[in-house]
Amino acid sequence: MSHEDSAMNAAPDAPTVVRDDERSRYELRDGDSVAGVAVFELSEGGRIVFTHTEVDKAFRGRGFGGIIASEALADAARRGEIIVPVCPFIADYLRDHEVPGAVIDWPEESDAQESANPGEQTG
């Protein structure tokens, strides 16, 4: 399994976000547990299409949705990938937050998929 093992946030005991290209997802880890994921597809032209974001029920209410969105989007922007927010949670996050260096290709409204978890709030 090929993980990029450099955690994107470095505070001790803080959750970390790691990109797993083999599984096409960013993983939010709290200790040894995967607390949430942001699933993506890489497509032609350097696009990263975020299709689904989910935080495990045991970890909800701790702001983990916002953490995984922030870290995944910042990483994609640093890599120069064009962000396509099909996932409603990621799209809402982008509407409410600035992501330095992000290039966003907003999908058609009919392309959006229901994948956000109603109990998890951004910000």
- Between CA 12 and CA 100 the distance in angstroms is 25
pTM above 0.85, yes or no: no
DSSP secondary structure code for residue 89 in this structure: H
Is residue 83's pLDDT more than 60?
yes
65-84 burial, b if ≥16 CB within 10 A, otherwise e?
A: bbbbbbbbbbbbbeeebbbb
Going from the N-terminus, what domains does the chain have, and what CATH number goes with each? 16-111 (3.40.630.30)
Rounded to a whole number of angstroms, the distance between the first and last alpha carbons of the chain is 32
pLDDT tens column, 68-77? 999 999 999 9
Task: Using CB atoms within 10 Å of the CB of residue 53, give its burial: 0 to 12 exposed, 13 to 18 middle, 19+ buried.
Answer: buried
Is residue 47's pLDDT more than 60?
yes
- Percentage of the chain modeled with pLDDT above 90: 76
- pLDDT for 6: 44
Element (H, E) at 18: strand 16-20
Copy the structure tokens of residue 36.
């949430």
Identify the CA nearest to 5 among candidates 25, 15, 20, 22: 20
pLDDT band at 84 (very low <50, low <70, confident <90, very high): very high
Identify the CA nearest to 54 among candidates 44, 64, 62: 64
**What is the arithmetic mean of pLDDT over 36-50?**
97
Is residue 14's pLDDT more than 60?
yes
